[in-house]
Amino acid sequence: MGASVVALPEGSREAPLIEVSHLDHAFEDAGQRKPVLHDICLSVFPGEIVILTGPSGSGKTTLLTMLGGLRAAQSGSLRILGAELLHAQKGTLTELRRQVGFIFQAHNLLPYLTALANVRLGLEVQTAWLDRGQPAMDACALALLEQVGLGARSGAYPANLSGGQKQRVAIARALVASPRLLLADEPTAALDKESGRDVVDLFRRLADDTQAAIVMVTHDNKILDSADRIVHLDDGHLVEES
């Protein structure tokens, strides 16, 4: 089978924020090499929302973590925000992660911090925000919590939040620093229809207002209309769907 090539958006002139070329990836399983991604080629441009779909085990989350520099590239080219990640140094990966917002299925909230403090973490890795001080960071974090409907729960700890509320805190944390790239793994899975639509509207505003690129893995058919492109992964091969 040839390379899984996804066409570029018609009329695109800006340089892509994500440029993947002939990317392969495999895991070691009982001493055997198990390929999970095959000859992936994909570009994502500023202001674009791309949704990844496909069955469980097709490689969606693996690809998403590689785009964020959380999993090392093994072969091919993986250029994110202008930086090549194949054989990248630790400093390059650290700088990249400061510019990327992550939303994980497991929330990854710190249990000993309030909702407000968890969101503020998204700013504490930004030198410019540290220079502005904690009151400014708290005000920004609270504004994001209000946008996801949790302003009144800013002082609550994760143990006292529902699954959907934890997810909304995680979403606020990912958005608070206006990342250049947002990577989201099933961001609406724990949300009701209305909350899910509100979150997707926030994503759309981020893409439109700041020209961030957004790549989202989802099985939620109710939010597919938010995408500029829908890309399907099948057995580790990437195929453009619409």
CA distance 134 to 50: 34
The DSSP code sequence of 168-218 is HHHHHHHHTT--SEEEEESTTTTS-HHHHHHHHHHHHHHHHHH--EEEEE-
CA distance 193 to 166: 16
Q: Which two tokens stand for residue 133?
A: 């001080």
Q: Which two tokens stand for residue 141?
A: 């974090």
pTM > 0.85: yes
Domain ranges of the chain: 46-72+89-240
pLDDT digits 0-9 by tens, 93-129: 888 988 999 998 888 999 999 999 999 999 998 888 9
- Considering the four listed CATH numbers 3.40.50.300, 3.30.390.10, 3.40.50.1970, 1.20.80.30, the one that applies to the domain covering 46-72+89-240 is 3.40.50.300
Residue 64's identity, in one-letter code, is: L
pLDDT digits 0-9 by tens, 2-59: 343 344 444 445 799 999 999 999 888 777 888 889 999 999 999 999 999 998 888 8
Angle at 85 between CA 12 and CA 99, to 5 degrees: 70
Contact between residue 45 and residue 6 where contact means Cβ atoms under 8 Å apart: no
Residue 85: pLDDT above 70?
yes
